Amino acid sequence: MTTRLAIDWTRCDGRGLCSELLPELLTPDDWGYPLSRTGDPRPVVPVALRLMAEQAVLDCPRLALRLTPDETRKSHGVRTGKP
């Protein structure tokens, strides 16, 4: 399953710890707020970085990070209710 890193901007205060822990995914802006290196507001977390991302979520002092399943990768099957 693909995982994404979500940032709650109402909680983030730009300390920059997440950018230090996940430099492969995040870079700080001029004020210390994290920006995705890909430009995606919810960057995909590669399997190789999953443990580091989990640690960043746990270490965030403002609890502004969370890992979420990638909803775009789910099956697009249509249910009609008919057998």
pLDDT above 50 for 78 = no
Cβ–Cβ under 8 Å, residues 17 and 8: no
Whole-angstrom distance, CA of residue 6 vs CA of residue 28: 15
Segment 57-69 shows an average pLDDT of 97
Please tell me the total count of domains within the chain.
1
Side-chain half-sphere exposure of 76, counting CA atoms within 13 A: 2
Name the pTM for this structure. 0.81
CATH classification of the domain holding 38: 3.30.70.20
Residue 69 falls inside a structural domain:
no
Beta-bridged to residue 36, according to DSSP, are 26
Residue 7 falls inside a structural domain:
yes
pLDDT above 60 for 74 = no
Lookup: tokens for 59: 């270490």
pLDDT of residue 71: 81
pLDDT above 80 for 4 = yes
> pLDDT class for 72, splitting at 50, 70, 90?
confident
